[in-house]
Amino acid sequence: HFGIAEAPLLKGRRILVTSGPTHEPIDPVRYIANRSSGKQGHAIAAAARAAGAEVILVSGPAEVADPKGVKVIHAETAQQMLAAVEESLPVDAAVFAAAVADWRVADASDQKIKKTAGGAPTLTLVENPDILATIARHGTLRPRLVVGFAAETQEVVAHARDKRLRKGCDWIVANDVSPETGIMGGDVNTVHLVTAAGVEDWPSASKAEVARHLVARMAAELAGEAR
Ligand code: CTP
Ligand code: CA
């Protein structure tokens, strides 16, 4: 367990969190999505609120309920999520916990696609905007602290280090989702915090505890502490 008793508060800070999956329509009744419950992102939003921050949660269609005391903007697709995030700037810090679909269907059908004798349809995919990278490279509206997530099944820290540099964010919370550790959708999370200074291995903990610890680290960073 973490010692966070003396954590500085986030009073007066504006914090943005993305959470949950995105759904990318194929037609009015079908979609492409990532596996994501929204538990970790929603827990971070709740922890930031409990620490006194003004919190904006941009949530995809998550399984968990909206946290209390937080402004929630619901988005379905990656493009809608990006628009909601951009409208919410400026913020002091942003945490990108959403499992954004990397691709969407190039031209989703307005009508339900029917089975025909012609066989199965072919879906053409196009890449979605990278919300984290877009915000991390925003000129004047870039938040002071930009935190990304990386769910990996192997070489967790190496991939996270690359991702931190590629995306231009300050920190990556590298999430070990290999079968022997954090089961996707479960309540326990095993993470490593990758910063410019190096890598911290955090003990396996509940998603609520990981959220509180991350919020405490963010508060210290925003307060200008070396840590
Ligand atoms: N992310 C985002 N917008 C996207 C894709 C990812 O904001 N279109 C964010 C996620 O919320 C997360 C981080 O980027 O904070 C890393 O997401 P991840 O899927 O691990 O990275 P990718 O660059 O998509 O790489 P890959 O899926 O190939 O590992
Ligand atoms: Ca991805």
Beta strands in the chain (DSSP E): 14-19, 23-27, 30-33, 54-59, 71-74, 93-96, 103-105, 125-127, 145-152, 171-176, 188-189, 191-195, 198-201, 205-206
Residue 24 pLDDT greater than 60, yes or no: yes
The residue whose CA is least distant from atom 12 of ligand 1 is 149
CA distance 10 to 186: 28
> pLDDT tens-digit profile of 158-188?
999 999 999 999 999 998 887 766 556 677 8
pTM of the model: 0.93
> Mean of the per-residue pLDDT values for the chain?
93
Angle at 204 between CA 93 and CA 157, to 5 degrees: 65
Q: Which residues are catalytic?
A: 34
pLDDT cut 90: percent of the chain above it: 84
Task: Answer whether 150 contacts ligand 1 (Cβ < 6 A).
Answer: yes
- What is the per-residue pLDDT for 178? 77
Amino acid identity of residue 212, one-letter, is R
Distance 97 CA to ligand 1 centre (A): 9
* Alpha helical stretches, state H, the chain: 39-50, 78-88, 131-136, 156-167, 207-222
* Alpha helical stretches, state H, 107-206: 131-136, 156-167
ipTM value: 0.98
- What is the per-residue pLDDT for 177? 84
- Spatial contact of 214 and 4, defined as CB atoms under 8 Å apart: no
Task: Answer whether 32 contacts ligand 1 (Cβ < 6 A).
Answer: no
**Which numbered ligand comes closest to the C-alpha of 21?**
1
Distance 119 CA to ligand 1 centre (A): 33
Question: Is position 131 annotated in a ligand binding site?
Answer: yes
Distance 99 CA to ligand 2 centre (A): 7
